[in-house]
Amino acid sequence: MRTHNDFLQVIPMIRFFRSALLRAVCVLAFATPALANVDIQHWTAANGARVYFVESHVLPILDVQVDFDAGAARDPGGLSGLAGMTHGLLDSGAGGLDEDALAEKLSDLGARLSGSADNDRAGLSLRTLASAREREGALALMRTVLTAPEFPATVLEREKARAIASLREADTKPDQIGAKRFAKALYGDHPYGRSATVESIAAITRDDVLAHYRRHYVASRAVVSIVGDVTREQAEAIALQLTGDLPAGEPLPPIADVTMPKAATERIAHPANQSHIFVGQPVSRRGDPDFFPLQVGNYILGGGGFVSRLTKEVREKRGYAYSVYSYFSPQRQPGPFQIGLQTQRAQAADALKVVDETLATFIANGPTADELKAAKRNLVDGFSLRLDSNRKLLDSLATIGFYGLPLDWLNKFQERVEAVTAAQVKEAFQRRLSADHMVRVIVAGD
Amino acid sequence: MDLRRFSNGIALCGALALTLAAASPARANPYETTLSNGLRVIVKEDHRAPVAMHMVWYRVGAMDEKDGTTGIAHLLEHMMFKGTKKLKPGEFNDIVARAGGNDNAFTSHDYTAYFQRVPAAALPKMIELEADRMRNLVIGDDEFARELKVVMEERRLRTDDQPQAQMHEQLMASAFIAHPYRRPVIGWMNDLEKMRPDDARNWYRLWYAPNNAYVVVVGDVDHKRVFELVKKHYGHMKPVAQPVRKVTAEPPQTGERRIVVKAPAELPQLAMAWKVPKLSDVENDREPYALEVLAGILDGHAASRLPRALVRSSQIAVEVGAYYDSTARGEVTFMLGGTPAKGHTVAELETALRAEVKRIADEGVSAAELERIKTLTVAAQIYKLDSTYVQAMEIGRLEASGYRWQDADRMLEKLRSVTADEVQAVARKYFGDDTLTVAVLDPQPLDPDAKPRAKPAGLRH
């Protein structure tokens, strides 16, 4: 609820820095800094659903997530926003219950049903108490929403109107204008470059929604992640319960390959006080062999919060920006490497120059021995922080499951970070980032 | 009501009672002690994972500022990372990061708080670092000037370029004409422009003392060992005589106030704030608990009334919300707000929102609605145990607002004892015209050729 956030006048000092490093939970008490050991149980259900399970009886709660290959990259041409709309409508009427009845029943059980959708994935998450009545009731509702959504025409029209209102609002905001134009500049006509528009949302019909649902919400491509207070036997039953009624599904074509963009700078006029600056290019996939050198390097460059080179150069030394960051966002097709910051218009050119020099220096010379050591200590010794809640483990399981990462991904994480050398970081950055493909978008620049 | 701040509820019914009994840690947990210099220490042992959440809370925030230096509490928070007699600027963050941790800080009207999330083994170092910067901060002129620029950028990002935030800032400034909540936490830009290093030094000298602070630790720790470490690093500090706090009470509002804020945007917005009581006496107050439940019935979960009636049914709004927090050092309001849907006006939305409150005043609430809020509240107590951050925040915020962490259980019991009649009574009593302030965002077209409206801050290059 946006209004809530506006009403809460608490100012955190700095934005949370996005990081593509997997987070996870370990409920075993181990001595620090020991290697984490997360016991992921994995099987494929009879209907083809892939299941990932971590058993944990420490808290009487259960978290379940079901994901599908149903993200925005599957939007048909001219219907950008269809995947998001379909996903958003799942709980707007299902199995003979209208949206209000579904919401009431969930709340009466103390359960929380939420969803997330991005370029690649769309799915639902449930958090419920593990006690039998609450758990069984909540899972039955989740199953109904996943397997028997009705997509009422009246709700579709209403949600289209809300989406259009929200799009028009977003198109006045410099950060959101910039994010859309940056995706377009990086990916052009590739699905990763498209954004919903007023026209594409207006064009969505109920038949489109039904077709998207039937094609993409299928058992053979369901990834079920389960964390919490149930047994293996119960987890097996839950996975089948949630996906058993779904059709097997037909194979999907692969998402198109990404064409690398030509270096370019795009300036967009806007009356804001600050320029919003985006720099980057498509780089890495999930399962990328360069993942560890790129992530360790990026911690040093702009992912490590206060201690990153970008923060030191742009914020600490010069006071140019409150937030400056970089990240790699690996996806099924090469996701972006992105640098972002916002700075008073008059100094945008100066700030951008500092960013460019910081990036160029890092690519040319790589990290110092001390920077590399500091990065490893944070990522290795701090790994337990990514392992301290069921919620975080669920996120990791879902990512490992959806992208087919190895089951020992979490358990090998620390040793693979430790193994990264300065030469590997430098070599990976030089090979994967190229000035010929570096795209810049500046909103509200003079 | 998704951010309830109650600790482990114990007195429960039915299936949940068994659940909670299993989940409840030993009754002694959390543990607390107070050093002879007044520093309180609260430790909650949670041995799920080898991590520790470490926080130091100062009982000072934007509400303690004076006109002319608004924003100094938050600016000082930034300066706390800029070095001490022992540490160079930036070294604090570097030590935390190398220990495998991450750290941050936040400022509100009521408090200023600092935290590190670290592997449990690194906790002793964190305690040492926080103790050092409680008394040994060095505020250099150049560091101050640079950090002030950062904070000005933060204000541009959070407020000056955010129409909604501008509306909220001006709503608070209009709802409170005397009480310090009228001032934005980040400060007015003009005050930031005039801020001097001595303003920060004076603020630090006045408020940063063991008797104006408390330490909160949640995680895989032994409370006795934490007490020892805190005593070792803070024990030698002398308490600092605290200034008398003179907080201007808001004079009674005797008529409706309305403001309009114009900013480049697409959609209009509405926010309404009524003066209502806060929780002063945990044991004997009733109305604040009833207002909490009212807020939950109106908004806060999928089945609540406002989104159901105004977004889903009548479709007057694309977004609506209610907000009330009974716990605060200062005075509180009950807010309703939202964004009208295309073809509807803010006036229509205002009428519809007020009609929803009036419906409760006239007809009351159902037993099922009341029970739902209580169920969600109890569930939230269990879900909270999945996060050391949420648990530490709950303890810290209660203490900052003038309550004790021990009150949490009582507050939860009290909340669960609210009756339908009590909810109806507060809906009748507090939502008249005379104590209401209304803010409307009047969206202006974006003119790419327009110059920025705000006067650029005088940067000295």
Contacts of B320 in chain A (CB under 8 A): 3
Q: Which tokens hold the place of A265?
A: 């700078």
CB contact under 8 A, B51 and A388: yes
CA distance B334 to B293: 12
Q: Which of B77, B98, B110 to mutate to test the interface with A (most CBs of A within 10 A)?
A: B98
CA distance B352 to A331: 44
Q: Which tokens hold the place of B405?
A: 């962490």
SS (H, E, C) chain A: CHHHHHHCCCEECCCCCCCCCCCCCCCCCCCCCCCCCCCCEEEECCCCCEEEEEECCCCCEEEEEEEECCCHHHCCCCCCCHHHHHHHHCCCEECCEEHHHHHHHHHHCCCEEEEEECCCCEEEEEEEECCHHHHHHHHHHHHHHHHCECCCHHHHHHHHHHHHHHHHHHCCCHHHHHHHHHHHHHHCCCHHHCCCCHHHHHCCCHHHHHHHHHHHCCHHHCEEEEEECCCHHHHHHHHHHHHCCCCCCCCCCCCCCCCCCCCEEEEECCCCCEEEEEEEEEEEECCCCCHHHHHHHHHHHHHCHHHCHHHHHHHHCCCCCCCEEEEECCECCCEEEEEEEEEEHHHHHHHHHHHHHHHHHHHHHCCCHHHHHHHHHHHHHHHHHHHCCHHHHHHHHHHHHHHCCCCCHHHHHHHHHHCCCHHHHHHHHHHHCCHHHCEEEEECCC
Pick the residue from chain B with its C-alpha nearest to A1.
B321
β-strands A264-268, A324-328 pairing? unpaired
Q: Answer yes or no: B77 catalytic.
A: yes
pLDDT of amino acid A13 = 37
Contacts of B89 in chain A (CB under 8 A): 316
- The reply to whether B368 touches chain A by the CB within 8 Å rule is yes
Q: Kindly tell me the number of DSSP H helices and DSSP E strands found in chain B.
A: 16, 11
pLDDT of amino acid B300 = 82
Catalytic residue among B32, B45, B65, B77: B77
pLDDT of amino acid A401 = 98
DSSP state of B299: S
Contacts of B50 in chain A (CB under 8 A): 29-32, 384
Segment B408-422 shows an average pLDDT of 95
- The reply to whether B281 touches chain A by the CB within 8 Å rule is no
CB contact under 8 A, B386 and A59: yes
CA distance A242 to A355: 48
Instruction: Give, rounded to a whole angstrom, the gap between the first and last alpha carbons of chain B.
Output: 47
pLDDT of amino acid B79 = 98
Q: Which tokens hold the place of A70?
A: 């149903």
Q: Where are the beta strands (DSSP E) in B87-242?
A: 102-107, 112-119, 213-219
Contacts of B47 in chain A (CB under 8 A): 29
- The reply to whether B13 touches chain A by the CB within 8 Å rule is no
Query: B306-329 in b/e burial notation, b at 16+ Cβ within 10 A?
Result: bbbbbbbeebbbbbbbbbbbbbbb
Q: Measured at the alpha carbon of residue A103, what is the angle toward residues A2 and B324, in degrees to the nearest 5?
A: 40
* Among B398, B171, B125, B150, residue whose Cα is nearest residue B269: B171
CB contact under 8 A, A25 and B266: no
Tokens 């963009």: give the residue. A261
Segment B262-270 shows an average pLDDT of 96
pLDDT of amino acid A203 = 98
Q: Which residues touch B34 (CB under 8 Å, ≥6 apart)?
A: B40, B41
CA distance A149 to A141: 11
CA distance B423 to B321: 18
pLDDT range class, residue B27, cuts 50, 70, 90: low
Interface of B with A in 243-272 (CB under 8 A): 264-267, 271
CA distance B5 to B13: 20
Structure confidence by residue, pLDDT tens digits, B49-88: 999 999 999 999 999 999 999 999 999 999 999 999 999 9
CA distance A409 to A345: 43
Query: A117-151 in b/e burial notation, b at 16+ Cβ within 10 A?
Result: bebbbbbbbbbbbbbeebbebbbebbbbbbbebbb
Is A39 within 8 Å of A177 (Cβ atoms)? no
Interface of A with B in 383-412 (CB under 8 A): 383-385, 387-391
**Burial (CB count within 10 angstroms: exposed 0-12, middle 13-18, buried 19+), residue A228:** buried
Q: Which tokens hold the place of A314?
A: 């742009």
A89 half-sphere exposure, CB direction, 13 A CA radius? 29
- The reply to whether A154 touches chain B by the CB within 8 Å rule is no
Q: Which tokens hold the place of A327?
A: 């990240």
pLDDT of amino acid B302 = 86
- The reply to whether B390 touches chain A by the CB within 8 Å rule is no
* Among A126, A204, A120, A123, residue whose Cα is nearest residue A162: A204
Say whether pLDDT at B1 is over 50: no
Question: Which residue among B50, B147, B185 places its CB closest to the CB of A9?
Answer: B185
Distance from CA of B48 to the nearest CA of A (A): 6
pLDDT, chain B, mean = 91
Interface of A with B in 367-386 (CB under 8 A): 374, 377-385
Distances (CA, A) of B79 to A323, B94, B200: 16, 15, 8
- The reply to whether B277 touches chain A by the CB within 8 Å rule is no
Q: Measured at the alpha carbon of residue B339, what is the angle toward residues B338 and B340, in degrees to the nearest 5?
A: 120
CA distance A333 to B437: 51
pLDDT of amino acid A387 = 84
CB contact under 8 A, A305 and B109: no
**Burial (CB count within 10 angstroms: exposed 0-12, middle 13-18, buried 19+), residue B272:** buried
**Burial (CB count within 10 angstroms: exposed 0-12, middle 13-18, buried 19+), residue B390:** middle
- The reply to whether B16 touches chain A by the CB within 8 Å rule is yes
3-state SS class at B39: coil
3-state SS class at B317: strand
Q: Which of B157, B299, B372, B397 to mutate to test the interface with A (most CBs of A within 10 A)?
A: B157
pLDDT of amino acid B448 = 52
β-strands A324-328, A41-44 pairing? unpaired
Distance from CA of A345 to the nearest CA of B (A): 9
pLDDT of amino acid B449 = 59
CB contact under 8 A, B375 and A108: yes
CB atoms closer than 10 angstroms to residue A70: 25
3-state SS class at B18: helix
- The reply to whether B455 touches chain A by the CB within 8 Å rule is no
Mark the ranges of chain A whose per-residue pLDDT is less than 50. Answer: 1-9, 11-35
CA distance A174 to A274: 9
CB contact under 8 A, A374 and B97: yes
CB contact under 8 A, A383 and B148: no
pLDDT of amino acid B447 = 75
Interface of A with B in 246-285 (CB under 8 A): 269-274
A vs B: CB pairs below 8 A: 285
Say whether pLDDT at B293 is over 90: yes
CB atoms closer than 10 angstroms to residue A283: 25
pLDDT of amino acid A446 = 76
- The reply to whether A37 touches chain B by the CB within 8 Å rule is no
- The reply to whether A237 touches chain B by the CB within 8 Å rule is no
CB contact under 8 A, B303 and A306: no
